[in-house]
Structure 1
Amino acid sequence: MTDTRPNVLFLFTDQERADLVAPDGLPVETPNIDRLRESGTWFDRAYTPTSICTSARASVLTGLYPHAHGMLNNSHEADAIRKDLPEDLPTFGELLADAGYENGYVGKWHVGQSRGPESFGFEYFGGSDDHHDNLDDRYRRYRESFDVDDEEITDRVYAEFGGEEMLVSGTTSLPPEATRTYFLADLTVDAIERRAEGDDAPFFHRTDFLGPHHPYVIPEPYASMYDPDDIDPWPTYAETFDGKPRVHDQYRRYRGVEEFDWETWAELVAKYFGFVTFIDDQVGRILDALSEAGLDEETIVVHAADHGDFTGSHRQFNKGPLMYEQTYRVPLIVRDPTEETVPESDAFVGLHDLMPTFLEWADADVPDGIHARSLGPLLSGDRPAARPDSAYAQYHGDEFGLYSQRMVRTDRYKFVYNGPDTNELYDLREDPNELRNLVEHPHYADVRREMQDRLVERMEEVDDPLAGWVPKTFA
């Protein structure tokens, strides 16, 4: 009997902003992700459960918020709360393998130090690096196959980080074909071609690019594709930090970008844009390989990112204890050629909703007690009554130190709980750039109370351990 369940190709990026590939987004060349979006469903209100790599990736695997899976901060750092995901938590990789899927994985892992993709139901094909949990050195061997000189990086921009210079951007002397980004696409194309020659078992393949995360070091022609002089300051660059939690300004100093002017930021943004286009070209190679293998009509393709990137928005670098749209709203595209789907959904969805969605496509049982819901009904245009009417997210800290935050975002408002400092309230209709904190504004007192209540409701829904304490701070 032929297995008619679909294949799934999951293309995951690191630190890609939603506005880079949104229908009305930034002026960045992404023709391949655009064609994926134009033939699939764009989720306009997709949010990461937390804006930090390990925690978000663990949420995708488990369908849980960080407080429940325990990976509260990055696993590779010395201050990691946990160095590996608890073994007793069900993950979609293992459940897909149990359901008969052949699972492959390429690229970044970053969910633990001692247990890699092979421990979670995947065959790992390589491509990561030692910063992201030291899976192998296959890229080094790949690069040695090219007749190129030692890599030189020009146009370097540094930030003063922790008393040391940290490379933020530059131009590599390597040709595109010798870079890790290209290598990851090569591994993916190889995996697709092998699947095409295999048996009738459905496959799930995941490719995790290591970009466009900083350092934004990319080859030509991408490094000079965007002219910094043509890049206007972000509207959020008008940030004054007036009325904001003090950690916002402190984080800018901590990251070593306090002295960056817009001329410097524009140079970084230009490299960031070039990185995105470079990855997009690799996505094109992968999609072409899928078509040439005759698998495109039976393979669902998903594109998403673990979280966004400030790149100068709110005068900030990277991500951190700031729950702005630039790092919490993420791209999410699903192209399902096996079903008729809607072109866009404005429902609030979470990145971790992918976990039960993958299992539903595989006709596999979804574990009880997860914090996610399948995207399936939304793809067909249904609006299930159980769907949240808001986005909820958490942040627990990184190398800057533990810093507990909770966020709820509705159609018009966003409320952020900051335990050690002032809370935040934004009217996104009147202030889409989140420049004015209204939490103490008397005209918004009723809105503040309503949003506080809504936040507590969302916390209680997922058994957030702070649900018993946070309401007391609102009294």
Structure 2
Amino acid sequence: MSRPNALFLLTDQERYDLTEPGSPVETPNLDRLSEDGMAFERAYTPISICSSARASLLTGLYPHNHGMLNNCHEADAIRPNLPPELPTFGELLAEAGYVNRYVGKWHVGRDQGPEDFGFEYRGGADRHHDPGLAGDFERYREELGVDVDEGDLEDLEDRIHTGTGTLVAATDPAPVEATRPYYIAERAIECLRGETDEPFFLRTDLYGPHHPYVVPEPYASMYDPEAIERPGSYAETFEGKPAVHERYLRYRGADALDWETWSEAIAKYRGFMTLLDDQVGRILDALDEGDLEDTLVVHASDHGDFTGGHRQFNKGPLMYEDTYRIPLQIRWPGEVESGSTCREFVSLHDLMPTFLDLADAEIPDVDGRSIRPLLDGGVPADWREAHFAQYHGDEFGLYSQRMLRTKRYKYVHNGPDRNELYDLESDPHELTNLIEHPDYEDARGDLERRLLERMRETDDPLSQWAGDVLG
């Protein structure tokens, strides 16, 4: 079998539940990937913050092993750049003869870009996350004659802010063709139309539906706020939860948002998702038109977004399904069965060794594991039965957390506060913390033991301290 061309589509803070079958959001092109390939029901991120998750994707390592514990562009970044000695899939694919191109968001280093990691960069970055790569999108808007400055919030309509003044959602008065998602899709299509004698890997990182949920018409009013049902976790009381949960609500100013306001913001988020889906459709159409329909196509997200879940937005030191469970669809004609479903636990950082495996390139010693056997329809006997994840804090300050998610339970270790235990069969919205419930003592002990084992297996430095209270 020859090595496949690959198109990797990464969205930014896209929720799993709004891409699964029966979702109220129109995503016909993501549905198309699921129908033509494999959809993963238990895909998760190793960490729900952008730079850290993207660094794990590149390296196949957990954040505690690659060192980028929080966002690189902020003043409190633990590590502003990814250590150059760590092997990444871009570099290894290039060594294996692949022509790698990259479009869109980077956000894995202040002084580094895709070209430092085996990719030819084709533009689309914004100035907030990647100032050294930005500028081409602004020139594109000028060529279109669009006067609206993308960063000028005063020009936005229907603005929704938190009590602290943070913009959550708004309507962009610019036409669709002048939006960053449309432009990134244009650049990706140009790459697909380029000639290459070698196999190619095209990574396309779309901004959004990351907050603020700023979208143009017709997407801004595509979903009726009055038709949106409250998420089950909107009933959150914070009783029995770690103190940081409620403090984060106030810190973010989300406690000032009532349901009427939230429904309007959620409607914009859903419109954003459909806008992105339409751009995915344009890219897939270009793929088919170029007789490249046999190309491996992978769609995933770096992590999710609360979008009103637990009355929060964005992400933070709350290890709920809203931000840790991610969409993942893989289409590979002739290799992956159409309409198939995988129910095994997989992680975003498994994609690094998977890409190398499919390219017949050597896989270094990493934390992730190739999911190629799952694509073939099999399940190795030693495949993981739980997902291990972590969080280290963001602008709220450092806050170490570790999580173990099994098919029934979720256990969260909060070093400086009370731990969490959820029975996801009886409480799918994670409202009741059972950490002190006597009926769950055996389950708690088993989860603590398994979590500590996983921490030790991955050389997690926190395990030496957690060992005193876990297992």
TM-score range for the pair, normalised by the shorter chain length: over 0.9
Match of 1:147 among 141, 145, 148: 145
Partner of 1:97: 94
Does the Cα contact within 8 Å between 1:320 and 1:397 map onto a contact in 2?
yes
Partner deviation per Cα, 1:208-255 (whole Å, 9 max, x = no partner): 011000111110000000010000110110110000001000000011
Is 1:186 equivalent to 2:182 in the alignment?
no
Partner of 1:325: 321
Is 1:73 equivalent to 2:92 in the alignment?
no
**Residues of 1 paired with 2:121 and 2:173: CA distance?**
29
Give the secondary structure class of the aligned counterpart of 1:384.
coil
Is 1:84 equivalent to 2:87 in the alignment?
no
* CA 1:340–1:317: 2 relative to 1, 3 Å: closer
Query: Which residue identity does 1:411 align to in structure 2?
Result: K
**Residues of 1 paired with 2:375 and 2:172: CA distance?**
41
Query: Which residue identity does 2:272 align to in structure 1?
Result: F
Match of 1:415 among 406, 411, 426: 411
Does the Cα contact within 8 Å between 2:254 and 2:312 map onto a contact in 1?
yes
Using the TM superposition, give the Cα deviation of residue 338 of structure 1 relative to its aligned residue in structure 2, in angstroms: 3.9
Match of 2:393 among 392, 397, 405: 397
Partner deviation per Cα, 1:349-393 (whole Å, 9 max, x = no partner): 11000000000111000002x101111000111111231100110
Partner of 1:285: 282
**Residues of 2 paired with 1:146 and 1:168: CA distance?**
27
Partner deviation per Cα, 1:401-427 (whole Å, 9 max, x = no partner): 000000001111100000110000000
Query: Which residue identity does 2:406 align to in structure 1?
Result: T
Is 1:229 equivalent to 2:233 in the alignment?
no
**Residues of 1 paired with 2:229 and 2:40: CA distance?**
27
Using the TM superposition, give the Cα deviation of residue 119 of structure 1 relative to its aligned residue in structure 2, in angstroms: 0.1
Give the secondary structure class of the aligned counterpart of 1:160.
coil
Query: Which residue identity does 1:393 align to in structure 2?
Result: A
Using the TM superposition, give the Cα deviation of residue 199 of structure 1 relative to its aligned residue in structure 2, in angstroms: 3.3
Partner of 1:114: 111
Give the secondary structure class of the aligned counterpart of 1:132.
coil
Partner of 2:152: none
Is 1:268 equivalent to 2:271 in the alignment?
no
**Residues of 1 paired with 2:303 and 2:458: CA distance?**
21
**Residues of 1 paired with 2:146 and 2:196: CA distance?**
39
Partner of 1:242: 239
**Residues of 2 paired with 1:199 and 1:424: CA distance?**
52
Give the secondary structure class of the aligned counterpart of 2:433.
coil
Query: Which residue identity does 1:157 align to in structure 2?
Result: I
Does the Cα contact within 8 Å between 1:300 and 1:338 map onto a contact in 2?
no
The CA RMSD over aligned residues, in Å, is 1.1
Partner of 1:256: 253
Using the TM superposition, give the Cα deviation of residue 327 of structure 1 relative to its aligned residue in structure 2, in angstroms: 0.2
* Structure 1, 128-137 or 69-78: larger mean CA deviation: 128-137
Give the secondary structure class of the aligned counterpart of 1:465.
coil
Query: Which residue identity does 1:319 align to in structure 2?
Result: K
Is 1:379 equivalent to 2:375 in the alignment?
yes
**Residues of 1 paired with 2:465 and 2:173: CA distance?**
54
Query: Which residue identity does 2:108 align to in structure 1?
Result: V
**Residues of 1 paired with 2:71 and 2:136: CA distance?**
23
Partner of 1:44: 41
Is 1:59 equivalent to 2:56 in the alignment?
yes
- Identity between Structure 1 and Structure 2 (%): 62
Does the Cα contact within 8 Å between 2:386 and 2:407 map onto a contact in 1?
yes
Partner deviation per Cα, 1:183-225 (whole Å, 9 max, x = no partner): 000000001001xxx2320000000011000111110000000
Using the TM superposition, give the Cα deviation of residue 474 of structure 1 relative to its aligned residue in structure 2, in angstroms: 3.5
Is 1:439 equivalent to 2:439 in the alignment?
no
Using the TM superposition, give the Cα deviation of residue 341 of structure 1 relative to its aligned residue in structure 2, in angstroms: 3.0
Does the Cα contact within 8 Å between 1:6 and 1:338 map onto a contact in 2?
no
**Residues of 1 paired with 2:395 and 2:249: CA distance?**
14
**Residues of 1 paired with 2:24 and 2:418: CA distance?**
35
Does the Cα contact within 8 Å between 1:153 and 1:173 map onto a contact in 2?
yes
Query: Which residue identity does 1:282 align to in structure 2?
Result: Q
Partner of 1:13: 11
Using the TM superposition, give the Cα deviation of residue 160 of structure 1 relative to its aligned residue in structure 2, in angstroms: 3.5
Give the secondary structure class of the aligned counterpart of 2:144.
coil
Partner of 2:210: 213
**Residues of 2 paired with 1:388 and 1:468: CA distance?**
23
Does the Cα contact within 8 Å between 1:57 and 1:111 map onto a contact in 2?
yes
1:155-194 matches, cutoff 5 A? 155-161=158-164, 165-194=165-194
Does the Cα contact within 8 Å between 1:426 and 1:438 map onto a contact in 2?
yes
Structure 1 regions of 5+ residues with no counterpart? none
**Residues of 1 paired with 2:361 and 2:43: CA distance?**
24
* Structure 1, 350-359 or 338-347: larger mean CA deviation: 338-347
Give the secondary structure class of the aligned counterpart of 1:20.
coil
Using the TM superposition, give the Cα deviation of residue 469 of structure 1 relative to its aligned residue in structure 2, in angstroms: 1.4
Partner deviation per Cα, 1:154-185 (whole Å, 9 max, x = no partner): 10011234xxx221111111000011110000
Does the Cα contact within 8 Å between 2:51 and 2:72 map onto a contact in 1?
yes
**Residues of 1 paired with 2:460 and 2:253: CA distance?**
33
